[in-house]
């Protein structure tokens, strides 16, 4: 299962993605708004990453590796997961800092949201964002997400909960 845009390929993670993935999840700036850097060792996280690579997608979680087509370089991840804390399927993503500012976040999220609504049959997505994370606030606004309430999530603190309904997304296209 993969998604292709003009500049990006969204596909299953591969072992060769790990070095850039590890660099991203241990970068305190890149992980500032997504729960902080991992507390796992390189080896512990590698073992989990390998398990993720070999496990089929499930109804409760799909996480795509986001790859820049021109270089075939791993630049981040984008997916959706069932979230008890947010009460629905949560859109989530994270990117290596060297890919910031190029519009990749919106491009990947837009194509992933379309996939989740059209191929997975999801009717509503939720997202959590920190008001200080201007890039994510812009992406969610462009996608059509609407603020619902502030919620306190253990690893993130107080964040804005937003939601997007399939019909609203269709109307904005």
- Tell me the pLDDT tens digit for each residue of 92-150: 999 999 999 999 999 999 999 999 999 999 999 999 999 888 999 999 999 999 999 99
- Tell me the pLDDT tens digit for each residue of 35-57: 767 889 999 999 999 999 998 88
> What's the pLDDT at 34?
75
> What's the pLDDT at 173?
59
157-165, strands of its sheet edge to edge:
3-4, 8-11, 61-68, 73-83, 88-95, 124-129, 157-165, 146-153
Mean pLDDT, to the nearest integer, of 18-23?
96
**pTM, whole model, 2 decimals?**
0.92
Mind listing the domains of the chain with CATH numbers? 3-171 (3.40.630.30)
């Amino acid at each position: 299962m993969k998604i292709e845009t003009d500049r990006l390929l969204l596909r299953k993670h591969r072992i060769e993605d790990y070095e850039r993935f590890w660099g991203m999840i241990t970068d305190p700036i890149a992980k500032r708004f997504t729960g902080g850097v991992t507390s796992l060792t390189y080896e512990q996280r590698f073992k989990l990453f390998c398990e993720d690579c070999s496990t089929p997608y499930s109804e409760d979680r799909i996480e795509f590796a986001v790859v820049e087509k021109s270089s075939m370089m791993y630049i981040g991840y984008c997916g959706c997961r069932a979230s008890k804390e947010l009460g629905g399927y949560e859109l989530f993503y994270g990117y290596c800092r060297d890919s910031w500012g190029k519009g990749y976040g919106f491009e990947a999220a837009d194509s992933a949201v379309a996939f989740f609504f059209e191929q997975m049959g999801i009717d509503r997505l939720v997202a959590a964002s920190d008001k200080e994370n201007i890039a994510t606030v812009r992406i969610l606004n462009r996608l059509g997400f609407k603020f619902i309430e502030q919620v306190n999530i253990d690893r993130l603190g107080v964040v804005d909960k937003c939601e997007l309904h399939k019909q609203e997304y269709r109307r904005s296209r």
